[in-house]
Amino acid sequence: MTISLSTSDFQPTEMYFLLRDSVVPRPIAWVSTISADGAPNIAPFSFFNVVSPYPPVLGFSCGPRGDNHAGEWIPKDTYTNILATREFVVNIVPEQLMDEMVRTAADLAPGDSEFRYAGLAEAPSAIVKPPRVARAPVAYECKLYDIVDAGANKWIMGSVEHVHIDEAVYVGRKGEQNHRIDLLEKLETRPLGRLGRANYVRVREVETRLRRDGPNS
């Protein structure tokens, strides 16, 4: 038997939990920013994905500080910093930094550094001011492309301007226009996924299915 419900039957918190617990697994954007006065910040966001490859655009959904479902919309540092500087870095979260990533989700006071709180090493970016995660296998330096007001959340899109790739996952041939990566070869560089509640998933079983109606990428 199927339970069929109208969205009007749900309280805002109920709909949030339904979406969070059913749209899984989700990739995680570990977004580093910097405030107008130079304070670094980093936080994980699991409502995240690729928006476009040409031009390269990434997007993630940023909710308010505190209650995500009702009341006054109080911006998180990530949102405030991006509005001020129009720059951010999307770091891919590897297994080996799972504990540090979880710690950066702490509700610190505005201006406090999650890098310092989580014991997370920073690395300088090439063209944007926010630092990147030193041990992230891939990090995308972004300039703000657009922000869409999506009700309780803001959908933030960034144009990828520069990419950092750990040589441990780089399998292309630099200078030959064959830039490829493999995040699955080593367990410690495999990306984490987000499930419902406080649950995460590690990539362990991978199956290959080839298309028969055309070339495979």
> Which CATH number fits the domain that encloses residue 194?
2.30.110.10
pLDDT at 214: 62
What is the pLDDT, as a whole number, of residue 58? Answer: 98
In 3-state terms, what secondary structure has residue 121?
coil
C-alpha–C-alpha distance, residues 213 and 135, integer Å: 39
Residue 204 lies in a domain: no
Whether 211 maps to a domain, the answer reads no
Which three-class secondary structure state does DSSP give residue 77? helix
Q: Is residue 213 part of a domain?
A: no
pLDDT score recorded for residue 211: 79
Mean pLDDT value of segment 67-75: 69
Compute the average pLDDT of residues 103-113: 92
- Please give the average per-residue pLDDT across 85-106, as a whole number: 97
Q: Is residue 203 part of a domain?
A: no
Number of structural domains (the chain) is: 1
Q: Which of 37-46, 170-179, 203-212 has the lowest mean pLDDT?
A: 170-179
The pLDDT of 145-166, averaged and rounded, is: 96
Residue 161 lies in a domain: yes
The pLDDT assigned to 183 comes to 95
pLDDT at 176: 67
Structural domain includes residue 206: no
What are the angstrom distances between the C-alpha of 110 and each of 11, 43, 51, 89, 102? 30, 12, 29, 19, 18
Domain extent at residue 145: 13-198
- 212 domain residue, yes or no: no
Is the residue at 208 inside a domain? no
